[in-house]
Structure 1
Amino acid sequence: MFKKLSLAAGAALYASVATAHFQMLYTPELLRDNGGQISLKLPFTHPSESGHVMAVDQPNAFYMIKKGKKTDLLDSVTPTKWTSASNTGESYEADVTLRGLGDYVFIYEMAPYLEASEDVYIQQITKSIVNVGSLPTDWNEDLGLKAEIVPLTKPYAIYEGGTFNGVVKSQGEPVPFAEIEVEYVNYEPNMTTNAFSEDANIEPPADAFITMTIFADANGTFTFGIPKAGQWGFAALGVGSDKEFKGKELSQDAVIWVQAHSVN
């Protein structure tokens, strides 16, 4: 099991850990041989430590881009529960059918969530790209989102030990020196029980590795070396064009999920 934060360490890391929320858009394999129906799990949580699952209102938007065509998927989203080591909380899920080869770019815009401890709202615009048949089509398209990470590396075709490169953008414009939080999905999601595994894949060497922080350069570009196979989340904080919601500060974040594969 993951080593729990000590009180002293927790206090010291409060400023960073308190913001380390990730809107998941999870299906086990981002690179598939064939299409068909897939399930997407959508908890708002802390995947690196099987942390608290936060209750969020119905999403504002959920859609898919395939070969430049947008398909609205909001009606496919249904309420469910998700269980972590901390709690069982409200969540969402969706079943989607993939037809044909190519990239399926999923965009999930959660409703703003009030982080009471900081008195600010958080809204994450999350991207995950599922590929069928190793035929690339849409993976590197700039969609002009309010908050977006545009990949420069195929996010489903990364070797363990390789790198992921991306550009942080807002409405098509790069965001210089964006702060980006990085988390590893350290507890495997169980698609049947809607829960994180009880056992961690790795034991982080220190609490600083629970949520890692990197910064984009002056052009909004960043590179991260991926040391372990599995799925990794990148959240560019507060980069979106919307800065306020219901009279309070809004952190509109761009999130992308990528998957690294073992070298056999």
Structure 2
Amino acid sequence: MLNKSFIRRLTAALLLLVLIGTADREARAHFGMIIPSDDIVDRQSAPSVELDIMFAHPFEGESMEMAQPRSFGVVRGGRTTLLTETLRPTTARLVHDASGSQSWKASYSVKRPGDHIFFVEPEPYWEPAEDSYIVHYTKVIVNGFGKEDSWDSEIGLKTEIIPLSRPYGLYTGNLFRGIVHVDGKPVPFAEIEVEYFNENGNLTAPDAAFVTQVIKADDRGVFSYAVPKAGWWGFAALSTDTRTLEHNGTPKPVEIGAVIWIRATDMITTR
């Protein structure tokens, strides 16, 4: 018969394993997401772009509830147009969602040539597993009618990734480069999480370490990543804000993320 001391030790060990497993699952990378129906609009394609805006674990296909964003807009030719009032609530149903989560949609008609930088600032998201709030300043660039004029522009977000490689028209295998800024200044040795939008759920990582790739910027805040597969890729450079926010009367830290989404495409074989 097992003695009581052994049973207590066994119970404690099992509980620890459960807690470790739960913490590991809950500490997965979060990504703010803006996924347009296309990143290049030409004269032959439909000029209206549909944008899905959500908060999710993109590789694992799991979404989280997203409150109405504080701001959503587009920058074209140096001019910012706020589009927050055009957002429509919807339900994200990614492939591994047990149930849907609130997300947002928008439509935008591309009328003029040039680069269109869409951005979103969400409401702070409380993450119990990290005992902190999360705010991801997210953007994506859509090119209109072939005019390349501002894809490398900084648009004044609290933190953002400024592309050093054109963020559209990318082939699979291209090297994507960017620089991480907070308050308009480079962030030396910033840590960047990289994740693939496994939209159809048909990919499986060989190990948990493969789900979220992790890279570091250099001393100038510059990073690079060779994109290994066609599809949408998210880059999230994480920092801790100087402000805190209260949760149940206690000040909590705020993780701020500069997020950019890019799309890689396979070369077309003609014969």
- TM band (smaller chain): 0.7 to 0.9
Q: Does 1:29 align with 2:41?
A: no
Say whether the 8 Å CA contact 1:65–1:138 is kept in structure 2: no
Q: Distance in 1 between matches of 2:41 and 2:87?
A: 22
Aligned partner of 2:66 in structure 1 is: 56
Paired residue type of 1:216:
A
Q: Does 1:213 align with 2:214?
A: yes
Say whether the 8 Å CA contact 1:144–1:170 is kept in structure 2: no
Aligned partner of 1:193 in structure 2 is: none
Correspondence list, 1:181-260, <5 A: 181-187=193-199, 197=200, 199-200=201-202, 202-238=203-239, 241-246=241-246, 247-260=251-264
Aligned partner of 1:72 in structure 2 is: 82
Paired residue type of 1:232:
W
Aligned partner of 1:140 in structure 2 is: 152
Whichever structure has more helix as a proportion of its residues is 2
Q: Distance in 1 between matches of 2:265 and 2:73?
A: 26
Q: 1:214 to 1:28 in 2, by over 3 A?
A: same
Say whether the 8 Å CA contact 1:121–1:245 is kept in structure 2: yes
Query: 1:170-221: per-residue Cα shift (whole Å, max 9, x none)?
Result: 121001111111000112xxxxxxxxx3x42x33332211111111111000
Q: Distance in 1 between matches of 2:31 and 2:215?
A: 16
Q: Distance in 1 between matches of 2:242 and 2:81?
A: 24
Secondary structure in 2 matching 1:75: helix
Paired residue type of 2:244:
E
Paired residue type of 1:93:
K
Correspondence list, 1:35-184, <5 A: 36-51=47-62, 53-84=63-94, 85-86=96-97, 87-184=99-196
Aligned partner of 1:190 in structure 2 is: none
Structure 2 stretches lacking a partner, 5+ long: 1-16
Aligned partner of 2:8 in structure 1 is: none
TM-score by length of 2: 0.84
Paired residue type of 1:55:
E
The alignment's C-alpha RMSD in Å is 2.2
Say whether the 8 Å CA contact 2:176–2:226 is kept in structure 1: yes
Secondary structure in 1 matching 2:35: coil
Say whether the 8 Å CA contact 2:58–2:198 is kept in structure 1: yes
Q: Does 1:261 align with 2:265?
A: yes
Q: 1:229 to 1:13 in 2, by over 3 A?
A: farther
Secondary structure in 2 matching 1:182: strand
How far apart are residue 98 of structure 1 and its match? 1.0
Q: Distance in 2 between matches of 1:177 and 1:10?
A: 31
Query: 1:65-96: per-residue Cα shift (whole Å, max 9, x none)?
Result: 11111111111112111112123111111111
Paired residue type of 1:227:
P
Paired residue type of 2:48:
Q
How far apart are residue 56 of structure 1 and its match? 2.5
Q: Distance in 1 between matches of 2:126 and 2:219?
A: 30
Structure 1 stretches lacking a partner, 5+ long: 1-7, 188-196
Q: Distance in 2 between matches of 1:225 and 1:112?
A: 31
TM-score by length of 1: 0.86
Query: 1:202-252: per-residue Cα shift (whole Å, max 9, x none)?
Result: 33332211111111111000000001111100000126x544222211001
Q: 1:232 to 1:164 in 2, by over 3 A?
A: same
Paired residue type of 2:33:
M
Say whether the 8 Å CA contact 1:55–1:89 is kept in structure 2: yes
Say whether the 8 Å CA contact 1:243–1:251 is kept in structure 2: no
Structure 1 runs (4+) greater than 3 angstroms displaced:
8-17
Query: 1:94-148: per-residue Cα shift (whole Å, max 9, x none)?
Result: 1111112111001100110000222210000001000122221110012232110
